[in-house]
Structure 1
Amino acid sequence: MSSPTGPTDARPLKVRISDDIRARIEAGSYPAGSRLPTLDTLASEYMCSLAAVRDALDLLRQQGLVITKQGLGSFVRERAKARRHGIERYSRSRWGGASGKAVLIAEGEAQGRNVQQLIRELGEVPASTAVAARLGVSPGEAVWVRRRLTLIDSRPNQLADSYYKLSLVDIVPMLREENTGPGGGFARIEEAGVRLAEIAEELAARMPTGPETITLRLPEGTPVVELMRTTYDLNGQPVEVMHAVIAGDMAEFAYRFPIPD
């Protein structure tokens, strides 16, 4: 086994083996969906015990790179990524008009992905401290929530909860419905005379909770990206706060924007 630091490499054997296999996966020597060599073959190649190979594969499973199928062996995990094109994804041309589509659906379809959105909850809930601070209400004040689960190519991609002041929902009653119509909530809000003008996004990576792991079907060791998005109107007032938990192995973020003076 080659090593960038030569024979004095101090990494544990299982780490050296897992690093080498990961490098081969990243180089395409073991493509997505392919079966890895058997334990015996890997042990022979790395001149080590079966236990060391098993430990190395355990590390790769924890990193979300490898899955094991009972009785079939270990395989390189396939990843159904969808690229989030930063600023462009919120273009009014995507969600506005009679043929508009919700932001994530329009973005996924442009990349040849099959995107679905399932409603998990619609109703009044007390605003959390994080939501209240961004939406401009008091913690615990009643707000309206739309909880969704989105799937890309049939695999859960993100949990997305959008929060609105009850006063807004009163003038945009479609926010209470499962199907908000062409263009989604953004389109209905503007139809009610509230012009959307600015969006702020906050991103943070963390490990998932147990329920998030189950709902998003996350392999062991897979992180999530937590997104807080606040949408403002022309007067700088917050209109919507969305809290999303995104499967870390399915998300890529791309931003291109002018350099501010």
Structure 2
Amino acid sequence: MDPKTRITQFQRLIADDPNNDMAYFSLGNALLQNEQYEEAGDTFAKCAQINEAMTKAYQLAGDAYIKAGRVDQAKVVLTKGYIEATTRGDLMPKNAIADMLASINEPLPEVKNETPKPEAPVEPEGDFLCQKTKQRGTQLPRPPFKNGVGNWIYENISKQTFDEWIGMGTKVINELRLDLSRDEHDAVYDYAMRVFLGINDEIYEQVMGRKPVMPDGQFRTVIDEIMSKGGHLESYQGNMHTQVED
């Protein structure tokens, strides 16, 4: 699918769900591929505004702004991104952002506490039984996607578990350097989500009416490893992507 078609597709997703951070992230990648750098920067910045944990979005916003000649805006978004990546322990975006700040002669901001941010307090139990954890929580306010998978998640996965997936999904994007405007990388992200939430092939076929698109075998192996480690990948020092690169 060419970038212009993808741009239109993701713009429609955003129109339907203005708070969909992944739609903004995907749109930003499509705009970047189409060399619409200023628009890409604004889109990635919006993604980061919606989901501050998406530290890769800060990195890509800064890169796009630099290419668009908006250096002052790049300084702002990269500075905030460096602080977020540092406090969250996202090593790869942190290092990439540091390099970009150096390239525009902007000093690194001081980060008083460089330990990862503490986990959010556990929300009180609700009356919704999550089929993944078998624990009670709260139901999502609406399906996260407008398709069969989104409806299944709404009916079976608690808000608490889905929020955990959002955090894990961010790590998958960062660690594997995924570009969600590419079909093969989008398939990797979807596979990771299915594994994390327990959406097996049988469930997928039942709710979508077709077989799921499977990523390359190397990606599947790495995704399984990420899931087995619960997203704790500090020992890889940001180099896990080398396992799936030629």
Q: Please, what TM-score do these two structures have when normalized by structure 1? A: 0.21
Q: Please, what TM-score do these two structures have when normalized by structure 2? A: 0.22
Higher helix residue share: 2
Q: Radius of gyration: which is bigger?
A: 1
